[in-house]
Amino acid sequence: MVENIRDNSTRLKLAASDPILTRPISIEADFSGMPSSETMSRTRASSTLFASCAHLLTPKVALVTDGHGGLLRRIEAPYLSQFSTTVKGRWLGRTVLDVITAEFSRLKDADVVKRMILAGHVTVNGKPTTATTCLADHDTLQTLVLRHEPDVVATTPTAVFEDNDFLVIDKPGSVPMYANARYVHNTLMSILETSGIIASRSDVFVVHRLDALTSGLVILAKTKTAAAALSRAIRDNAVQKSYLARVSGHLQADQIEVDQALGSVLRPTMTDPKEASTKIAVRFRTTIDGHDMTVVQCTPRHGRMHQIRQHLASIGHPIINDTLYQPDLMRYAPYSSRADAIGDASLWPVPDTTPGETMQLPALPGIERGRIMAIDLRAVKYAFPTLGLEFVVPDPAWASE
Write the DSSP symbol of residue 274. Answer: B
Listing DSSP states for 78-92 in one string gives -EEEEEEEEPPGGGT
Q: Transcribe 38-83 into DSSP letters.
A: HHHHHHHHHHHHHHHHGGGGS--EEEEE-TTS-EEEEE-S-EEEEE
- Give residue 6's identity as a one-letter amino acid code: R
Residue 170 pairs in a beta bridge with 158, 217
Query: Which is the catalytic residue, given 211, 322, 340, 376?
Result: 211
242 contacts: CB under 8 Å, gap ≥ 6? 297, 298, 299, 379, 380, 381, 382, 383
CA 295 from chain center: how many Å? 28
Residue 312's H or E segment, with its range, is helix 307-314
Using CA atoms, how far apart are residues 312 and 294, in angstroms rounded to an integer? 11
CA–CA dist 221, 208 (Å, integer): 10
For residues 12 and 2, the answer to whether their CB atoms sit within 8 Å is yes
Annotation says 254 is catalytic: no
Residues marked as catalytic: 211
